[in-house]
């Protein structure tokens, strides 16, 4: 390979590592989708939330959601999110207007969280809200159908 191409590939690798390095600052409502709450739904992961066995499992791998398409019947959506990749990720849900409805906290490799929210029937975007992760492929579809 030409030296210029090798430098370009090395720089791209460094940029991906920097973008995927977790922040050491404390989460805020603006930077933490779990803290976001709207008229459409409020995230919850406490004892009142649906248990992981009742939730739809979603695994985050570097850089994909498995499954990429999730269908739920009923307006209570419970997602059991597990990070199976070495990079910190989350799973966040937004509506067609771009409003974040709810999501998991940032999860390190092997960590899991079950999040639950009441959501109106419709189509939503599943994605990782960390900078650049959605464009790298962590994006999917959530379809909620009336019971």
Mean pLDDT of the region 54-68: 89
Q: Which domains does the chain have, with CATH numbers?
A: 33-145 (2.60.40.420)
Q: Indicate the pLDDT class of residue 14, thresholds 50, 70 and 90.
A: very low
Q: What is the pLDDT of residue 62?
A: 82
Strand partners, 126: 93, 140
Q: What is the pLDDT of residue 22?
A: 41
Mean pLDDT of the region 33-58: 47
Query: Could you give the 3-state DSSP secondary structure of residue 55?
Result: coil
Mean pLDDT of the region 27-44: 36
- The structure's pTM equals 0.66
The Cα–Cα gap between 17 and 69 comes to 27
Mean pLDDT of the region 8-17: 38
């Amino acid at each position: 390979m030409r030296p210029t191409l090798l430098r370009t590939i090395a720089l791209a690798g460094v940029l991906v590592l920097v973008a995927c390095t977790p922040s050491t600052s404390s989460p805020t409502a603006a930077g933490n989708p779990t803290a976001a709450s709207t008229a459409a739904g409020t995230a919850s992961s406490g004892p009142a939330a649906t248990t992981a066995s009742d939730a739809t499992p979603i695994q985050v791998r570097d850089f994909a959601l498995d499954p990429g398409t999730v269908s739920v019947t009923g307006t209570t959506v419970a997602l059991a999110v597990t990070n199976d990749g070495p990079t910190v990720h989350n799973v966040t849900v937004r509506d067609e207007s771009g409003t974040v409805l709810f999501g998991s906290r940032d999860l390190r490799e092997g960590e899991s969280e079950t999040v639950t929210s009441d959501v109106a029937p419709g189509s939503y975007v599943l994605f990782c809200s960390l900078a650049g992760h959605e464009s790298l492929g962590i994006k999917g579809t959530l379809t909620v159908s009336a019971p």
